[in-house]
């Protein structure tokens, strides 16, 4: 949604999206029950407002709001609170993994290996016989360096 006067509000248990791209034209208005909304993210640019009730309902239904400045640069990203303790534990485990140098090196090798495998499969899929020598070199490099 873009322009002056756009808004997100709630009326009769529906999310009301009012988009005012042009101040001289009537706004376009969409009404959605939040679980039937075709959007997972709503991007707002320009001057407008979002009601706290709308933010609450969107958050409860895992809908994100992204706020941009007038130049299209992100200002904020409103994301639903993760109430799952399991998700927090996973995130902490990811941070702990990146503190361990051996695990970081292992993960880096696995990423490079997967990228090489993907590239080799793609080049083989093309069936271009001129690439055969290059494919062989990639396979040899993968064999020697990664494993």
Domain segments of the chain as ranges: 6-78, 85-146
The gap from C-alpha 31 to its chain's centroid, in whole angstroms, comes to: 24
The predicted structure's pLDDT at residue 91 = 80
The predicted structure's pLDDT at residue 97 = 84
The tokens describing 129, both together, are 């016989």
Tell whether pTM > 0.95.
no
| 6-78 is classed CATH 3.40.50.10780 | no
> What are the start-end ranges of the H helices in 1-147?
52-60, 85-99, 101-126, 132-141
pLDDT in tens, the chain (147 residues): 776 778 899 999 899 998 877 777 788 888 988 888 888 888 888 788 889 999 889 888 888 888 888 788 888 888 777 666 677 788 888 888 888 888 888 888 888 888 989 998 999 888 888 888 888 888 888 888 766
Residue by residue, DSSP assigns 42-78 as EEEESSEEE-HHHHHHHHHTT-EEEEE-TTS-EEEEE
């Amino acid at each position: 949604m873009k322009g002056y006067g756009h808004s997100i509000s709630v009326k009769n248990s529906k999310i009301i999206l009012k988009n005012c791209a042009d101040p001289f034209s009537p706004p376009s208005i969409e009404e959605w029950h939040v679980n039937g909304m075709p959007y997972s993210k709503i991007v707002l640019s320009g001057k407008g407002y979002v009601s706290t009730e709308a933010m609450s309902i969107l958050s409860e239904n895992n809908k994100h709001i992204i706020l941009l400045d007038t130049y299209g640069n992100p200002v904020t990203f409103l994301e639903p609170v993760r109430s799952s303790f399991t998700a927090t534990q996973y995130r902490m485990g990811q941070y702990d993994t990146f503190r361990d140098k051996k695990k970081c090196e292992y993960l880096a090798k696995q990423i490079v290996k997967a990228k090489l495998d993907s590239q080799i499969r793609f080049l083989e899929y093309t069936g271009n016989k001129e690439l055969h020598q290059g494919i062989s070199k990639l396979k040899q490099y993968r064999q020697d360096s990664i494993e």
